[in-house]
Structure 1
């Protein structure tokens, strides 16, 4: 049993370190879904309520990654963003974060 627990812990640590090793590639970013809302100055969405959509260009990559991961896990509550983030791989998230972090505010 101790060997099983040790292997389980090792597997979890390896998984965390593998996710931390992902490097975003701004040129590979699939941001077509993002631009439709986050690329329009002053844009207001109407689902699930009317709100101003933030411009995310120039945000730090870490902030964008953390936000997308939180949407994916359901820790941030927005149906559209949860669906979009939920469809993204860890690499997609890193790439989008790299892309937007290189944009101007």
Structure 2
């Protein structure tokens, strides 16, 4: 099992942040299925201020490229991603078009 950690910012608006959290308390079943079908076994998102931190644990079948292709071909996932982008903004150092930025582990115990 592999673990990946990613970061993303939300727009710094308390009302919008509350709406975003509301969507994630009742995730759509088709979105949950797309996550699980990609080989993601654990996905946790934490927030401090407007910064989000995601932890993903994945099985051996997972690849970012395959997940991206699956998402691009799924209209429900595209609808979800477009809706979420209303609340999200890229990190200042993100590449053009990049949402969640993969983090580098700098310590482990």
With the length of structure 1 as denominator, give the TM-score of the two structures.
0.29
With the length of structure 2 as denominator, give the TM-score of the two structures.
0.29
More helix by share: 1
More strand by share: 2
Larger radius of gyration: 1
